[in-house]
């Protein structure tokens, strides 16, 4: 039943998964938290964050990203650190510590709000997120169980049944936090990174208090990072073709298509229309919008 639980369990799933983190995680001012809904570009942003924060530390060709999956370099709080351990030893990690989580903003440990740590959130248009998530969960599912029909998954999504709570609430929680406290919460969209990775690498480094120097720019650091972290490059690394996260989930499952607008290959016109209406309704007045397709090439 794991598959239906992913959807129907909703916030219960998130609450159970997040309990250890909420009760025990002690944020430090130098921490960086990568927050996201599932299938929103977490893997990509993990690679980017690691590369930006460790730039200059490794000779070219020696980045740990070439031999470790992004999920091995930046652990999930609720899956990797607190799931089987109430108080993992995180105090000895050298700063800046980088952690990730799928938990909604309102479910984060209170020490996160109280400290000066930084939050980087990434999200993605709901149509692509839904399709990406459906593919991921279908692959995770054991082979001997009938697949849940897409129509059912679509209904779950529309009615807010999702493993870390309704899509809309997740995004809006972080959106509002970023408006209220722009120095603490950086709000990124997958589609924007796709469109202009250079701009966003600079923005991210500035937000984290370590902007690229002229010298670094001239040495081609930004280009190097965007290439290292590109979908094509990461997907084709041996570690991401054959490795597994937590000895279980194949790394390859985190690299499927990596495009904006793949939803058009799966959603009927009426499904797409319904989701667009929902988007309008849920985000109305918030100032939040999403691109549903990439710019046609010139």
Give the helix, strand, coil percentages of the chain, each rounded to 5: 50, 10, 40
Structure tokens at 156: 């779950």
Residue 82: closest CA among 164, 163, 26, 18: 18
Looking at the DSSP assignment, which residues form a beta bridge with residue 101? Answer: 35
Active site residue 102: yes
Find the shortest distance in angstroms from Cβ 41 to ligand A3P: 5
Per rule CB under 6 A, is residue 229 in the interface with ligand A3P? yes
Work out which of 195, 217, 224, 262 binds ligand A3P, going by CB under 6 A: 262
Binders of ligand A3P in range 85-114 (CB under 6 A): none
Which residues have a Cβ under 8 Å from the Cβ of 259 and sit 6 or more positions away? 128, 294
Neighbour count for residue 241 (Cβ, 10 Å): 12
Per rule CB under 6 A, is residue 237 in the interface with ligand A3P? no
The single residue listed with the structure tokens 């990775």 is: 197
Which segment (19-27, 163-171, 207-215, 229-237) binds ligand A3P by CB under 6 A? Answer: 229-237
Work out which of 121, 154, 212, 255 binds ligand A3P, going by CB under 6 A: 255
Find the shortest distance in angstroms from Cβ 254 to ligand A3P: 5
Find the shortest distance in angstroms from Cβ 129 to ligand A3P: 8
Q: What does the alpha-carbon distance between residue 271 and residue 151 come to, in Å, rounded to a whole number?
A: 9
Identity of the residue, 27 or 74, whose beta carbon is nearer to ligand A3P in the bound complex: 74
Q: What does the alpha-carbon distance between residue 261 and residue 259 come to, in Å, rounded to a whole number?
A: 6
Q: What does the alpha-carbon distance between residue 136 and residue 105 come to, in Å, rounded to a whole number?
A: 23
Work out which of 14, 18, 20, 40 binds ligand A3P, going by CB under 6 A: 40
Find the shortest distance in angstroms from Cβ 294 to ligand A3P: 12
Beta strands 249-250 and 185-189 are: unpaired
Q: What does the alpha-carbon distance between residue 210 and residue 225 come to, in Å, rounded to a whole number?
A: 15
Identity of the residue, 91 or 272, whose beta carbon is nearer to ligand A3P in the bound complex: 272
Task: Tell me the site size for ligand A3P, rule CB under 6 A.
Answer: 21
Per rule CB under 6 A, is residue 277 in the interface with ligand A3P? no
Work out which of 7, 14, 20, 39 binds ligand A3P, going by CB under 6 A: 39
The single residue listed with the structure tokens 């959130």 is: 121
| Site residues for ligand A3P per CB under 6 A | 36, 38-44, 128, 132, 135, 229-231, 234, 254-258, 262
The residues annotated as belonging to the active site are 102
């Amino acid at each position: 039943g794991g598959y239906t639980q992913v959807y129907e369990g909703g916030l219960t799933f998130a609450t159970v998964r997040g309990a250890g983190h909420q009760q025990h995680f002690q944020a430090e001012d130098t921490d960086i938290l990568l927050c996201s809904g599932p299938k929103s570009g977490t893997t990509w942003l993990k690679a980017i964050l690691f590369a930006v924060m460790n730039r200059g530390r490794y000779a070219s060709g020696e980045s740990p990203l070439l031999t470790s999956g992004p999920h091995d370099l930046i652990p999930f709080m609720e899956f990797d650190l607190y799931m089987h351990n109430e108080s993992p030893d995180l105090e000895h990690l050298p700063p800046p510590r980088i952690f990730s989580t799928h938990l909604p903003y309102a479910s984060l440990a209170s020490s996160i709000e109280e400290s000066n740590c930084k939050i980087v959130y990434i999200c993605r248009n709901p149509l692509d997120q839904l399709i990406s998530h459906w593919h991921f969960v279908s692959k995770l599912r054991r082979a001997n169980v009938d697949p849940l029909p897409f129509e059912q998954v679509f209904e779950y999504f529309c009615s807010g049944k999702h493993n870390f709570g309704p899509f809309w609430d997740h995004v809006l929680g972080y959106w509002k936090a970023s408006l209220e406290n722009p120095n603490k919460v950086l709000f990124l969209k997958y589609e924007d990174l796709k469109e202009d990775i250079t701009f966003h690498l600079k923005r991210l480094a500035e937000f984290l208090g370590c902007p690229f120097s002229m010298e670094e720019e001239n040495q081609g650091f930004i280009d190097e990072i965007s290439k290292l972290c590109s979908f094509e490059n990461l997907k084709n690394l041996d570690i991401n073709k054959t490795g597994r996260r937590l000895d279980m989930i194949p790394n390859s499952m985190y690299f499927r298509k990596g495009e904006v607008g793949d939803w058009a290959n799966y959603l009927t016109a009426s499904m797409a229309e319904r989701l667009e209406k929902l988007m309008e309704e849920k985000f109305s007045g918030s100032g939040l919008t999403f691109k549903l397709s990439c710019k046609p090439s010139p």
